[in-house]
Structure 1
């Protein structure tokens, strides 16, 4: 999205598809105060993902175009936007089979602008099918099931849509919105395929996932009308807490002198989104609940359109936040699964390239299983096999001596993902378990998610992340910058990802951060066992008798 000078000299607003998903207030600030962000250092994690996406697109381009150059028209990226758009239109009007890097003409009346990695001519119906290339997963593998819905996919080299029994779709609204945006731009010139189809090539680069754009165009039209009105200053916005805030420069930066950053505005206004973020706050505002105090004062039944957690707990969250309570007990007595032999586990991964470090804690001893060969590397299989073999040996030794065993992590989504991925990618290597062995372990009682234990037993006004919860138990990290995004930057330096000499101090930093994470889960578990009942107020201390769930 950007603003520019229109045909008659007035300030024109243009919007690309990236602005259709995400915070409306950020969109307004980006468009109205672009000079404030000049020179601002982009978040390291965002920059790395951007660079990885660019590298992925180059790989896809070189592979597809290289396989049959005669079918492709490549729009040179070094040209001005105007020349690229002209070249793209000439290619489509000439009936080019496939176009890489196409850019469509900006629309000064609607405000649309956008381009597409692939424009694929529909040989049967005419027009062009937009296909985007993205650096995230668009499908997941699965075992065929005749009763399931099977998405439509096509070969990378021939447009042959068919029902694909071997994958399931990963919901990606941003891809669908971008394809709808491109379809409307093609439609303007009479160059959109009547098939109402679009495609996405994801991180795996193994097939084209086909999207039915007819199912999303109405939603796209409503969303686009709203967003372009925001950019044109026709609709007001206010800050609201959403997941995007974690990486937004406006969260801590004021748009102009005398104004407040979003964070300061939210706190100063005691905005309800601080305790009910995202769609929750949208529902509450429709019922006149704009502040935390409004929510804390709620009595009576829950709103009819409330479809989230128990409404009583949302009200209690507001009351706890207002009094400064970091946690509230849902239960009379806090419990957590304990065992004679306890192992804490935490992994470090780099984007979608792999998991390079499996850190463990047993009897106070930290053991890392790591590869410092830059990912992707076969050596990752070696380090994973060593981790798995060690963990299973500890479990077997406990069973042999009549002791109970449990392994703990915090928020198992990442660990489960890379357990399965590692077993799948390195199948057949020495020490690598089968996917069935992984499934049996993670579905069993000995794999314990401390995040789940926290979620089930506490209301958390300030969030449920480990770095929010463990300090309540008295734990602190050695590195003040410790976090998943920061560790990716440390990793690039630690392995010399860009061809530079590896920085050994960054490897030490990663290991200490990983060790602190497993120590934190241990400290949290001990605190939940021994002190939480006495130190954390119960829900009855906050819940009024007139609040209905």
Structure 2
């Protein structure tokens, strides 16, 4: 207490738009125990994405600064000075303001910055434009876009919007801050420059203001300690430094989010189901607002968790497509920059031992050499397919969760259409729509209930497979790749070998899992019905 006897007021709490789409309990911990958080090392995957985003923003800044008239760039070592300089630029009517920082609002609790503020063409207020390192559009139609040098939003016949709620909420946050200063454009528009920076995607922010206002009020109350939060498992837990504290609490409480994470856990709690045991014994109707997935599967997953069973069979028989010539495929990409490695494992019935081959480029992405390695991969794969047909043998190629492979197969065909050997989109679609392209993830989903998740690294160990590298994983491989190609220093060739081993293990895991499903799964994994009946039966 101060010497004069007065009570010192708590420091104001400010939040930006980031927490609006993140875990509420994490926000509370980050705010209440910020001093402890600063002692934790930054998650490598988070650091890599942050550094890549910084590099992307700098590349966009350089292009825009060179081509736009009326450019102002805010330089300051602290947020208060940067905000003062941003407001001064706005008052003098600067056309483009880069690295804009808006004044923190003590009353509302908002703080925020925008990569770019553009003066409304009508001369009234500013439109926030953010720069992000992810895709904001896909091929299609219906997105509203404009060029960099001339603000004229129109419906784009070649692009559709890729849903990114976090971008829209950030723009709404910035618009509200501009409103607070009397500087918001009456158009209520915002812009996003995405990964490939081909245009500015324009959002009508009036469609998200209601959701923004609700979320902001809630998150600010959490940050101020006015709302109570508890741990709950969500997708971001795997990269959160607080997970080592939250996980034991959830396990001790047998929290329902361990088998039904995210929005499903929220719905269950709203219906009075808080623990795994309560879910396993649930006999009521399916909650009306159940968000996604099978509710019966969630109940079964809870029963499996109770019994310590890693998987449950849905059916008496487990089947998976097999062939005389089998090729396991696993692709490695780096963010949205491209696919630098197509790994394959060739297995021929009655032939020699399986052979791994990786089709790779070590030129840092993005690079046209990616097209060369992709063309070589495709020629080899189609060669094996043709060889099987010519010799009267069956053929199948396998992946685990085809969404990523399909995306990069089609995307590579589009981007490298002028490189010899690169197939057309039609050729890609003919193959991926055929029975010869088999998704083992789908086979697992159709025939097993997986209480601990369906990722390859969750399922393959049940079949007896272990990765050689204890750190193997998507997040870690991003850092290995940066070192392997020399983004930050001289290329590290040992990391190239590490990536190849990791990729080889991934295709080996798919093979082992497939063979286990064919040979042993029925005898090793119980059905849900047998679990209900119990061992005495």
TM over 0.5: yes
Q: Which contiguous aligned blocks of 4+ residues in structure 1 show a shift greater than 4 angstroms?
A: none
Report how many aligned residue pairs link the two structures: 520
Q: How far apart are 1:377 and its partner, in Å?
A: 1.9
Within 5 A, what are the aligned runs for 1:452-531? 452-500=442-490, 502-531=491-520
Deviates more, 1:375-384 or 1:50-59: 375-384
Question: 1:413 maps to what in 2?
Answer: 403
1:129 aligns with 2:127: yes
Distance 1:397 1:16 in 2: 58
* Contact 2:483–2:489, Cα closer than 8 Å, also in 1: no
1:117 aligns with 2:115: yes
Distance 2:93 2:233 in 1: 47
Please report the RMSD computed on the Cα atoms of aligned residues, expressed in angstroms: 1.3
Q: How far apart are 1:206 and its partner, in Å?
A: 0.7
1:235 aligns with 2:227: yes
Within 5 A, what are the aligned runs for 1:257-336? 261-336=245-320
* Contact 1:125–1:195, Cα closer than 8 Å, also in 2: no
Question: 2:329 maps to what in 1?
Answer: 345
Q: How far apart are 1:9 and its partner, in Å?
A: 5.5
Distance 2:510 2:524 in 1: 18
The alignment partner of 2:13 has SS state of strand
* Contact 1:353–1:375, Cα closer than 8 Å, also in 2: yes
Distance 2:291 2:198 in 1: 37
Distance 1:85 1:497 in 2: 33
* Contact 1:230–1:236, Cα closer than 8 Å, also in 2: yes
* Contact 1:134–1:200, Cα closer than 8 Å, also in 2: yes
Q: How far apart are 1:541 and its partner, in Å?
A: 2.6
Question: 1:91 maps to what in 2?
Answer: 89
The alignment partner of 2:303 has SS state of helix
Distance 2:284 2:269 in 1: 17
* Contact 2:137–2:143, Cα closer than 8 Å, also in 1: no
* Contact 1:312–1:543, Cα closer than 8 Å, also in 2: no
Q: How far apart are 1:125 and its partner, in Å?
A: 6.1
Q: Deviations over 1:69-121 (max 9, x none)?
A: x3211111x33211111111111121111111111100011110001011111
Distance 1:66 1:243 in 2: 40
Question: 1:56 maps to what in 2?
Answer: 56
* Contact 2:313–2:526, Cα closer than 8 Å, also in 1: yes
Q: Deviations over 1:290-339 (max 9, x none)?
A: 11011111113222222422322211110100111100111121111111
Provide the TM-score with structure 2 as the length reference. Answer: 0.95
* Contact 1:316–1:542, Cα closer than 8 Å, also in 2: no
Distance 1:155 1:503 in 2: 40
Call closer, same or farther: CA 1:309–1:353 in 2, change over 3 Å. Answer: closer
| Uncovered stretches (5+) of structure 1, i.e. residues with no partner | 1-7, 145-149, 253-260, 545-549
Q: How far apart are 1:360 and its partner, in Å?
A: 0.5
The alignment partner of 2:50 has SS state of helix
Provide the TM-score with structure 1 as the length reference. Answer: 0.93
Query: 2:435 is matched with which residue: 431, 445, 450?
Result: 445
| Uncovered stretches (5+) of structure 2, i.e. residues with no partner | 1-7, 348-353
Within 5 A, what are the aligned runs for 1:37-52? 37-52=37-52
The alignment partner of 1:11 has SS state of coil
